[in-house]
Structure 1
Amino acid sequence: MNFFTGLYLLLFFFGIFFITIFLILHWRHRKDLFYSPEAKTFPSVSFLVPAYNEEKSLKETVEALMEIDYPKNKKEILIINDGSTDGTLKIAKDLEKKYSIVKVINKKNSGKANSLNHAIRFAKGELIAVVDADSYPKKDSLKKMVGYFEDEKVAAVTSRVLVKNKKKWIERYQVLDYSIIAWTRKLLDFVDSVYVTNGPLSVYRKREVIKVGGFDPTNLTEDIEITWHLLSEGYKTRMAYNAIVYTTVPDNFSQWTKQRVRWNLGGMQTIRKYRKAMFHNPENAFGYFVVPYVSASFAFAIIGIFLVLRYLWIKGAYNLASFYYAAFGYDYLKYIDFTMSVTLLLLMAGLFFTLSIIYYKTGFKNSETGKKSVLKILIYSVTYRSLYTIPLVIALYKLARGDTRWYTK
């Protein structure tokens, strides 16, 4: 067995191993997917809504927050205008006049993390709920999240993000994408390994966020970094699968790519920052599962891209050699080693393919998308999922150049 055959087998083994873990977790906890502990008390909550050029969506977001079923005297809404250049500030001021619990914080542009850190100083709530200005929580979402905070070790609870805009092809693909992401994240909740508290709606214990130094302004994915920071300090992060928030997703390929480049860059920044936590504390799932799992996911994605490029290069070399052999009678192929354990590779590939279909069918069945046929899953996997390589390659290039600017707006 040569080196590259070993890499192929390692990739398949990694995929099979983790898909099997997720399927086992689902089977063991399938009755608890939609369970959330009932809140015995209702802590005060400050909604933090950072907004940069969000004039099209801010009003609808705030009105959705006003509709949330929660004691009115226990909630406030802080809109942080992050130096917007459109009509965001005016809309925010109008909302402040209209609703007594809405307050506007106006500041120079410095990014989402800095905006949140600035607003925390003014937040009166025991809990802070971070909500993107283009996201819309359901009325019952908050009540289904706060019950987790009865456990003093819980520092953050995240929600299930669903897609609001579903007309264009790339939006419809993201409906499937977000469904699988949310289902997988809930499965990780059962092993104390929720490694990201999403931006559209996540609730934090303010005291703990302050204790760890707030949100990291140098990281492009502050929601991932704060989660890893809390986990590394021994706190728990949870996921309420029945707490739903709708968000506006990118409606064109260019914006989608920019968003995913940012996600990849921020993920790699976070891995680099917390790499020393890997296998550090055997009593903490963070070091023994979260860091290795996410790191391995990135590593094998990069290896996969390399192997695909290598295959395309060899295929091109093969075609070129065949042309020369036909034209000049000279066999260049004798210099190329195509040795491969074909039977073993086919077996591993077949098992991986079968488990992947089961994985996706199970995930979709337990989400708002409902059951999907094998054909639809294949189309989703072959067309949309293959696009993931583009932002990953761009992110690697930018990381190598030290270019870590915000890539959404």
Structure 2
Amino acid sequence: MIFSIYLSLPWLKDLASIVSLPAAILIIGGIAYIPGYMSAFLVASLLLDRQPVFKDEYPSDSVSLLIAAYNEEQSIFDTLKYVADQDYTGEIQVFVINNHSTDDTEEEIMRAKRELDLNITIFHESQPGKFHALNNGLQYVVTPYVITLDADTVLHPSAVRYLVSRIKSSPPDVCAVAGSMLVRNSRKTIWTRVQEWDYFLGIASIKRLQGLYQGTLVAQGAFSLYKTECVQEVQGWPDAIGEDIVLTWRLLKKGWKVYFEPLAVAFTDAPTTLGHFAKQRSRWARGMIEGLNEIKPWKQPQVYTKYLTGINLVMPYLDFVYTFCWLPGLILAFFGFYWIAGPMTLLVLPLTVISYGLLYMYQKNYVFNNLDLRIRKNKLGFVLFILFYQMIMSPVSVWGYLQELFKSKRVWE
């Protein structure tokens, strides 16, 4: 980072003559200094990471599994079938909470109950909102561990076993373990092709980084395991659009730790259109702001958690600078005005490919090979992910920040 600052001094001087020195520092800091530092920190940390071995790869503790379902007639049976096919030897009690569905979701659940070798109980929740459904199911959980699973997500046969193995192999103050999410419908559209690489490289690597420092910031509701007593102690899932984010931060505030298990793999359906993608990711950005509003980074009890949530504190600044400075600067460069972007910008590409190459090798050698999975060929998606993904993500995130700032109506779909 220091070397980058040294190299940028002529750029800083030229830009300052146009927009003033303070503005130039804010712009260059948001598009170069801080992102460069974060990338270097990520790669260096992951190169040093050594996942602890399991103390018991075949635990048999009873677990409860909560599935909140709203109009999921197309997917709920498959989701339950993959739960039934788990190689976990312990009892899995499945609670499906029908969140006021208006289609044939309940009929599909009843079909699964008849046809699958699975202990399924159905509850009904009339109040809209995933947090209402999960809290409804939580009150019936008597097992020491509870797993949440989205109704459109299917599990690798060993997913539950690896989640339970990780928490059983962890120190007593670990209260949750996040599973690893990958894209199932990556062949559906060009948008799902691009998102496949985001899940495979981006999201997985960030969770590994956070897990390394024992502060995974989101035990995502799509597939994560929690100690039941810990979730109950923080009063379950909160009334928030990012209910899993706020829940995780409440758990961290208690001084507990949250891990990540890369071998506990689940496959989810990514948004197939740009509009659906924008709604999902703006909702995630808004959920992050909800978490920051409720629990400030400096109030987290552990040093690493302060640091990791502190990084989230600067994300709105980075996204605003990228959206309103970097993207216009890229357009100006096409007309010969190299105030913000220029030919030297292309040097970022080989560095990006190298860093993602390291992450790719880890995912291939440690995760996919061990799970007998094959990486799909998706070269076009990778190129689009490298070149254009952030150009979409930052404006979408800014949209989510503004929604939370102006308290727009919350929409989960």
TM-score (normalised: structure 2): 0.83
Deviation at 1:8, TM superposition (A): 3.1
Provide the secondary structure at the position in 2 that maps to 1:366.
helix
2:79 is matched with 61
Call closer, same or farther: CA 1:371–1:71 in 2, change over 3 Å: closer
Pick the aligned partner of 2:404 from 388, 399, 407.
Answer: 399
Provide the secondary structure at the position in 2 that maps to 1:261.
helix
1:165 is matched with 185
1:137 is matched with 155
Contact 1:234 1:284 in 2 (8 A): no
2:28 is matched with 9
Distance 2:48 2:317 in 1: 29
Contact 1:75 1:125 in 2 (8 A): no
**Identical pairs, percent:** 21
Provide the secondary structure at the position in 1 that maps to 2:34.
helix
Call closer, same or farther: CA 1:55–1:64 in 2, change over 3 Å: same
Contact 2:181 2:204 in 1 (8 A): yes
Contact 1:132 1:199 in 2 (8 A): yes
| Number of aligned positions between the proteins | 379
Distance 1:374 1:367 in 2: 17
1:208 is matched with 230
Contact 1:364 1:372 in 2 (8 A): no
Deviation at 1:65, TM superposition (A): 0.6
Distance 1:36 1:238 in 2: 13
1:91 aligns with 2:91: no
Call closer, same or farther: CA 1:24–1:373 in 2, change over 3 Å: farther
1:357 aligns with 2:353: yes
2:41 is matched with 21
1:332 is matched with none
2:390 aligned partner, one-letter code? R
Provide the secondary structure at the position in 1 that maps to 2:26.
helix
1:293 aligns with 2:311: yes
Call closer, same or farther: CA 1:392–1:376 in 2, change over 3 Å: closer
Higher gyration radius (CA): 1
Please, which moves more after superposition, 146-155 or 49-58?
146-155
Provide the secondary structure at the position in 2 that maps to 1:142.
helix
- Residue correspondence of structure 1 range 188-203 to structure 2 within 5 A: 188-203=210-225
TM-score (normalised: structure 1): 0.84
Please, which moves more after superposition, 161-170 or 355-364?
355-364
Contact 2:113 2:120 in 1 (8 A): yes
Provide the secondary structure at the position in 1 that maps to 2:216.
coil
Distance 1:138 1:89 in 2: 24
1:81 aligns with 2:103: no
Cα deviation code 1:54-112 (max 9, x no counterpart)? 0000000011111111225x221010000001111122233334456111001203211
Provide the secondary structure at the position in 2 that maps to 1:103.
strand
Contact 2:129 2:412 in 1 (8 A): no
Cα deviation code 1:12-32 (max 9, x no counterpart)? 111111111111112212xx3
Cα deviation code 1:152-203 (max 9, x no counterpart)? 2111111111111122111111110101211221122111121111222100
Q: CA RMSD in A?
A: 3.0
Call closer, same or farther: CA 1:259–1:162 in 2, change over 3 Å: same
Contact 1:35 1:242 in 2 (8 A): no
* Structure 1: tracts of 5 or more residues without a match: 320-337
Please, which moves more after superposition, 245-254 or 350-359?
350-359
Distance 1:103 1:257 in 2: 34
1:234 aligned partner, one-letter code? G
1:328 is matched with none
- Residue correspondence of structure 1 range 4-403 to structure 2 within 5 A: 4-11=23-30, 12-29=32-49, 32-33=50-51, 36-39=54-57, 41-72=59-90, 74-98=91-115, 99=117, 101-150=119-168, 151-167=171-187, 168-180=189-201, 181-217=203-239, 219-275=240-296, 277-278=297-298, 281=301, 283-287=302-306, 289-308=307-326, 311=329, 353-368=349-364, 379-403=384-408
Cα deviation code 1:191-239 (max 9, x no counterpart)? 112111122210000000000111112x111111111111111111111
